[in-house]
Structure 1
Amino acid sequence: MSDTPFGFSLPPEEPENGGDGKKKGEGQGGQGPANPFGFGGPGAGDNPFAAMFGSMNPGDLGAAFQQLGQMLSYEGGPVNWDMAKDIARKTVAQGTADGTKDASVTSGERAAVEEAVRLADLWLDGATSLPSGSGTAVAWSRAEWVEATLPVWKELVDPVAERVGAAMGGVLPEEMQAMAGPLLGMMRSMGGAMFGTQIGQAVGVLAGEVVGSTDIGLPLGPAGKAALLPVNIAALGEGLGVPLDEVRLYLALREAAHQRLFAHVPWLRSHLFGAVEGYARGIKVDTAKLEDVVGQLDPTHPEQLQEALQQGMFQPEDSPEQKAALARLETALALVEGWVDAVVHAAAAPHLPSAGALRETLRRRRASGGPAEQTFATLIGLELRPRRLRDASRLWASLADARGPEGRDALWEHPDMLPTAADLDDPDGFVHREHLDFSEIDKMLGEAAKGGQERKDEPEGEGDDKK
């Protein structure tokens, strides 16, 4: 770390004549000395600011100082969400790697999405007992997706980021912490900014991949609002050999099915987010790596902390509690995605010739995850991926065969009724056991109802004569 306060390093003094006949600032090919912000370039001349910042024009220089000021003045929570939002929108504006740019939704695209969701809900009525959960259907641009989903990302990421903030203060010796108040505050501000930068970039990249508001198995958008992204649906459909209308309709079925589940299973959202939080509590920060970063921290080079975040500083605890938390989360995600997969296939197969191909495409896409999902896994130590999707889908489909849609969907009435990770290992065994249990219950209820009716039909006083 530099000997100057808080690690700032100033450019060294230069003599008027460096001994080689060159004036100040003319050495090193006309460049000024290495500057603390990493800026540099030819043409420094005799301008003292150019000597520090190279050929950066005044506008860029002002922006750099403004960004640094925003980082160091931030006093909010563990993530600078204003910065995250700004960077996400800028990432969206740059377009995806294949050159696809964001665009405002046209009236034709909006009408097509509304019609697709309307038809999807009609088909789903015959495949599930859960009624429609889509009060409205909306078509979003990528930028609108960012705006609508950031509140949920905040709920997911803040708990883990809070652990990093606490760890950053804990890496200093106790005797130094009392004297390092300004430094700790600056470190927290930079940590919030760096998390904001990384989350913003990840959300921005993810906005170029998602096709709706429920792609990761969690309800990211407002309740009751089925949302699709026309620009991403068109990109997904390229090369599949399937008409765009069919691709849109199949994705509308998935979005509408998710909406039904989250709208009519009131405990499901808190169950999923509780599983995420339970897993996050068991994540520990790699303090050795953090100490190394903090020990060399230069506030004028915030990319150091950013690079450390990119490399990952989180390690799940290898404890029974943490393994149980991970199993609960993976099972919950698999059950949600498996139910949607089974219900959508049952609804689509009679109508869409491409239903099977689209189903497999979406399964593989969901299982592999994209670069943005991998970024989140690095940042929060968690992959939001249903590893057991196929097992769960088979279990739900078998339940529908054995009990019908009503019997299958009845398992969502309480979390204790849901299949476990062990049940996913033996879906047929679970279905057979549950089928027997339901049959016994139905038999008992039927006999009770029959007995009550027989007593009701007996002539008055006949019961006493049989004694």
Structure 2
Amino acid sequence: MSDIPFGFGVPPEEPEDGDDGKQRKGDGEGGGQPDPFGFGGGSPFGPGGDNPFAAMFGSLNPNDIGAAFQQLGQMLSYEGGPVNWDMAKDIARQTVAQGTPDGVKDASVSRAERSWVEEAVRLADLWLDGVTSLPSGSGTAVAWSRAEWVEATQPAWQELVDPVAERVAGAMGDVVPEEMQAMTGPLLGMMRSMGGAMFGSQIGQALGNLAGEVLGSSDVGLPLGPAGKSALLPANISAFGKDLGVPQEEVRLYLALREAAHQRLFAHVPWLRAHLYGAVEGYARGIKVDTSRLEEAVGQLDPTQPEQLQEALQQGMFQPEDTPEQKAALARLETALALVEGWVDAVVHAAAAPHLPSAGALRETLRRRRASGGPAEQTFATLVGLELRPRRLRDASRLWASLTDARGMEGRDGLWAHPDMLPTAADLDDPDGFVHREAFDVAELDRILGDAAQEEIERKRREAATDEDGQDTDGEGDSGK
């Protein structure tokens, strides 16, 4: 344990002056949008909530009624994309401020927490230098609160969610007969606005719950945060490690290793981000909307009861199409996620095992956590039809470890040079076969190149000998004249 720097087990200091842990504006009561319905700053359309419009009309306070109508007007006048992301962000921040899902309200990060995150990432990068040929990708190391995670990752979620939400927006128009669409233009516009608001509400709640579970910026296997920035969430890490029976400093270092390893991969494999997001988009294109459920919700649509459409969204109305194209897209997505997570799992274990006695136990805990997904991740899957889980994580990790044994870390990491060089889903079924085939191919290539080089040497030797013979013959002819 001598490799663990002194002071990692020291409890965090009290917050700095001006950083007193109070909730930010918009994160709790008294911040964000007005709450005329009395839901404590939460979404008026959240799961299990009462009908906000019944509450509105049941109030005799003119100010409350006016605020409620103003909020309704803002919702119906929304003219942006398929998801009202302003609403999503507000609701996500309100959710983390209320302490979902663990009951601990979000607070500012302390100076001590920032210090140990920076130190842990710095040490993690030193350990990773010995097990991978990819250089550090962590330009900076930051400690995030849950609200800061919401803010920093929203652009990535928007890129992931919008294509799927757009399909719902299109389906809303499809459920209205074509001959009636001209007559129902205002209704369709209202439906799209309400759909954007409802999606924003649901996505906001899902992201708020997910913010209470994630440990860093790369928990779902995708680059969600800014490039070159390793980020950890101290509050969530403390909650995660509390009941593991593992020293907290080991938990911190192991999670810092995972975050730093992800950053190396994303920073030095320039095509990887587009490849992953392309796999997600390809799968999303094959998702179909359950129009029967949507038709039922639209058929009963009452402007004073928007929770009907809310319930349809919450219950999930997405089904992957059972076509060869969609199956291939799903295989590409699962394989891409598994290869990323498998590589991280393999190199982190190689880096951690010599230094952390609990490396094996932490590895298994993280594997199970990643494979099963938490409630928030399952909610997200219900909402957008995507499960961002590496189902082949163990197979991929074994393949990368075998490649390390067979070709060394440079040969293993060299496969990230181009997407066509990566193992396929079939290769994950037979990792040893891929490794041995790759080794054979390399040896065969070396033999072919060696034979070609030897043949070239022989050809040049013969040409040189022929030239020398010609010169000798000419010399003999001259002397005989």
TM over 0.5: yes
Letter matched to residue 55 of structure 2: F
1:124 is matched with which residue: 124, 128, 142?
A: 128
Distance in 1 (alpha carbons) for counterparts of 2:332 and 2:190: 38
Q: Is the 8 A contact 1:137 1:225 kept in 2?
A: yes
Structure 1's 104 and 453: CA in aligned 2 closer, same or farther, altered over 3 A? Answer: farther
Distance in 2 (alpha carbons) for counterparts of 1:140 and 1:452: 61
Task: Provide the residue aligned with 1:313 in structure 2.
Answer: 317
Per the TM alignment, residue 241 of structure 1 is displaced from its structure 2 partner at its CA by 1.2
Distance in 1 (alpha carbons) for counterparts of 2:100 and 2:147: 13
Moved more, 220-229 or 101-110: 101-110
2:167 is matched with which residue: 163, 166, 170?
A: 163
Per the TM alignment, residue 307 of structure 1 is displaced from its structure 2 partner at its CA by 0.7
The answer as to 2:393 corresponding to 1:396 is no
The answer as to 2:276 corresponding to 1:260 is no
2:110 is matched with which residue: 86, 106, 110?
A: 106
Per the TM alignment, residue 462 of structure 1 is displaced from its structure 2 partner at its CA by 5.6
1:358 is matched with which residue: 362, 368, 372?
A: 362
Deviations 1:204-251 (A, max 9, x none): 000000010000000000011000000001000101111111111100
Q: Is the 8 A contact 1:136 1:225 kept in 2?
A: yes
Structure 1's 357 and 59: CA in aligned 2 closer, same or farther, altered over 3 A? Answer: farther
Segments of structure 1 that go 5 or more residues without pairing to the other structure are 1-33, 41-51
The answer as to 2:398 corresponding to 1:382 is no
Give secondary structure in 1 for the equivalent of 2:322. Answer: coil
Letter matched to residue 398 of structure 1: S
Structure 1's 209 and 36: CA in aligned 2 closer, same or farther, altered over 3 A? Answer: closer
Per the TM alignment, residue 96 of structure 1 is displaced from its structure 2 partner at its CA by 2.7
Per the TM alignment, residue 440 of structure 1 is displaced from its structure 2 partner at its CA by 2.3
Structure 1's 229 and 446: CA in aligned 2 closer, same or farther, altered over 3 A? Answer: farther
Task: Provide the residue aligned with 2:54 in structure 1.
Answer: 38
Per the TM alignment, residue 442 of structure 1 is displaced from its structure 2 partner at its CA by 3.4
Q: TM-score w.r.t. structure 1 length? A: 0.86
Give secondary structure in 2 for the equivalent of 1:318. Answer: coil
Distance in 1 (alpha carbons) for counterparts of 2:305 and 2:173: 19
Task: Provide the residue aligned with 1:172 in structure 2.
Answer: 176
Per the TM alignment, residue 175 of structure 1 is displaced from its structure 2 partner at its CA by 2.1
Distance in 2 (alpha carbons) for counterparts of 1:111 and 1:445: 53
Letter matched to residue 250 of structure 2: E
Distance in 1 (alpha carbons) for counterparts of 2:249 and 2:449: 47
Letter matched to residue 124 of structure 1: L
Task: Provide the residue aligned with 1:47 in structure 2.
Answer: none
Give secondary structure in 2 for the equivalent of 1:298. Answer: coil
Task: Provide the residue aligned with 1:369 in structure 2.
Answer: 373
Task: Provide the residue aligned with 1:233 in structure 2.
Answer: 237
Deviations 1:409-465 (A, max 9, x none): 111111111111111111111111011112223344456667878999x8x956744
2:81 is matched with which residue: 69, 77, 81?
A: 77
Q: TM-score w.r.t. structure 2 length? A: 0.83
Distance in 1 (alpha carbons) for counterparts of 2:393 and 2:62: 54
Per the TM alignment, residue 300 of structure 1 is displaced from its structure 2 partner at its CA by 1.5
Letter matched to residue 53 of structure 1: G
Give secondary structure in 2 for the equivalent of 1:387. Answer: coil
Task: Provide the residue aligned with 1:53 in structure 2.
Answer: 58
Distance in 2 (alpha carbons) for counterparts of 1:306 and 1:221: 29
Q: Is the 8 A contact 1:35 1:53 kept in 2?
A: no
Q: Is the 8 A contact 1:246 1:352 kept in 2?
A: yes
Q: Is the 8 A contact 1:210 1:229 kept in 2?
A: yes
Distance in 2 (alpha carbons) for counterparts of 1:77 and 1:371: 27
Task: Provide the residue aligned with 2:211 in structure 1.
Answer: 207
Letter matched to residue 241 of structure 2: G
Letter matched to residue 425 of structure 1: D
Distance in 1 (alpha carbons) for counterparts of 2:337 and 2:122: 26
Structure 1's 357 and 200: CA in aligned 2 closer, same or farther, altered over 3 A? Answer: same
1:282 is matched with which residue: 282, 286, 292?
A: 286
Q: Is the 8 A contact 2:51 2:305 kept in 1?
A: no
Q: Is the 8 A contact 2:403 2:435 kept in 1?
A: yes
Distance in 2 (alpha carbons) for counterparts of 1:114 and 1:310: 39
Percentage of matched positions with identical amino acids: 83
